Structure 1
């Protein structure tokens, strides 16, 4: 009787072990692997895949950074080229201004030399240039027209103003304009004030004479 019970218990335990082995083989996740070597191989493969994914992500970030760096370098090169062009244009402007200043200085020296030459020519043994005189007409009350064969007031022709003094040493600044080859015009606010102050009328005589190289005197006489 006792032997029968032991034999039945042994069969029951063997059947239980077979069921457990079958369950573990069909569903390894719920139990231990029947092959430990395969488990470790799969574990290493999973680790490698994760490492490879991380490397790919890092490489992608590096590629993005390199692309951004290249774009920045391209913009810097473009900006440097623009700065170079601006510097070249500025250099051209500076050179042109320098040339212009040199030309203006040369022209100024030429004009000054001509003015001095004219002044030397009009001086004859200490005498001054012959005075300019004109009988005032109605049109001259607004602006005085001077008819001449040569320039009577070279310095006024250069600066556009004729500065004179009257009998009372009052200074006047007339606008001087070269109308054409043989005509010069005195006008401006001071000319109108001069006409009013000195009560100049048509038929009066206006005389302008040179006192020095840069000083003139104007007189009005009733004829």
Structure 2
């Protein structure tokens, strides 16, 4: 059973999303469609919803870093993890050759099926159910990508500059937080020699620290 929190009006779309080309080819006499066209559509919907989310929630990031961040959270590995969370490996229909060759664990197959499922939801219910589907996963993937250094590590860059002068001290402190539990915002202040030099606001303390460091570097002209 797929854990998608969505009920299809047209169940054939759900079935098509879970039909790999190898299965459709083995049943060509039944005019069965595979999920490749839905995967094409889902890929575009995923890119749009993710870009919209990043644009809205990360106003201080420039275009280049937004692009890197989007690439990190919609990559094959991330989609494969989502597929496992949804139960896609158990639901996807594969041909005998693909089944015997370990297709149920193949990252490319699982990632494509995830995008196909998104495309099916979009066709069946429109952009809002599709957006809700994506936003079940993307915010967490973004936090993980940021923590893993999906874009420039401004904190390290700033630390290296400050360390050149042994008299300088650098620290971060929480200045405040707001928003509901599912959409928190944290504001971190950057203190240079115990004086507030810059601040940043993000969805996690680490992200807020990075944005504060970025602002400090801009003030310094770096």
TM class by shorter chain equals under 0.3
Q: Which has the higher strand share?
A: 1
Question: Under a length normalisation based on structure 2, what TM-score does the superposition of the two structures give?
Answer: 0.21
Higher relative contact order (CA 8 A, sep 6+): 2
Question: Under a length normalisation based on structure 1, what TM-score does the superposition of the two structures give?
Answer: 0.21
Q: Which has the larger radius of gyration?
A: 1
